[in-house]
Amino acid sequence: MAIHLQKNAYGKNAINLSKVIRHPDHHEIRHLSVDIALEGDFEAAHTAGDNSSILPTDTMKNTVYAFARQHLTASIEAFGLILAGHFLEHNPPVCDVRITLTEYCWKRLLVEGIPHPYAFINGGSEKHIAIVSKSRQNLLLSAGIDDLLILKTTDSGFEGYIRDQYTTLKETADRILSTSCNIRWDYDRAPEDPDATYNAIRQDLLRSFAWHKSLSVQHTLYAMGESVLRAFPEVTTITLQMPNKHHILFNLQPFGLDNNNEVFIATDEPYGLISGTVSRS
């Protein structure tokens, strides 16, 4: 019986760092978590305990902090590209590097309408994601958003679905649509200004969500993906995961009150989970 090692990887996850960038008149705070995964010729380490091809994961961690001091000055996409290039260049056994960067959103605190020079407020659960997958021949750059919590109070319905003996859900042409999106998109080339491109794509997603006449979460998911692909030719594919954060109309009739789409039970569980990938034909 032949036994052999198949696909494998190793690396360091959850390298959390903060960096203060000190401008002459204000500070900037960057708060990141970095995951690193290396693939390559590591069979001897698994089969014979030979670590001569292994870069310690502690070294990977230290590299991230050292490079943050020197290179974390612009977008997280640019920082990820520099890290991936370093690990490929200096480690011959490595054939593929995957860097995943998550940036937490901090904004300068407004005091009497003026941004404070060194005080910040957290931007909520939303996170900026960048993924760099680099081999010695190819580069794939992806970006995205996690935990983008959005809601609209009308222009959403759900009707005409399958009904059977277990169906109790009532059809509606007017409901709350709320979701916490996780979104990823792939570039066919690295944007000249990744931050500007990211912000423009984010605004396009929000605009299409807000103005789309939604007949289902699936309907809005496709509209959001289609809008990005039409507006940004450098984006080749976009994947959206949109859990339906239900708001269920509460029955006020026992109390002699009507409920004209005003009072709802907000519930996180159980929830519908809708996902889809939209790409160019």
Catalytic, 220? Answer: no
- Catalytic residue (choose from 31, 86, 116, 246): 246
- The interaxial angle of helices 194-211 and 217-231, nearest 10 deg, is 140
Residues 6+ apart with CB under 8 A from 29: 18, 19, 20, 21, 106, 120
Catalytic, 246? Answer: yes
- Give the integer Cα–Cα distance in Å for 281 and 270: 35
Q: CB pairs under 8 A, 24+ apart, for 66-74?
A: 68/17, 68/19, 68/32, 69/19, 72/19, 72/30, 72/32, 73/21, 74/194, 74/195
- Catalytic residue (choose from 19, 27, 31, 57): 57
Catalytic, 236? Answer: no
For residues 54 and 61, the answer to whether their CB atoms sit within 8 Å is no
Q: CB pairs under 8 A, 24+ apart, for 223-229?
A: 225/276, 225/277, 225/278, 226/278, 228/185, 228/201, 228/204, 228/278, 229/278, 229/279, 229/280
What are φ and ψ of residue 172, in 5° steps?
-150, 140
- Catalytic residue (choose from 12, 128, 134, 247): 12
Helices H / strands E in the chain, number of each: 5, 10
- Give the integer Cα–Cα distance in Å for 238 and 1: 43
Positions marked catalytic: 12, 57, 246
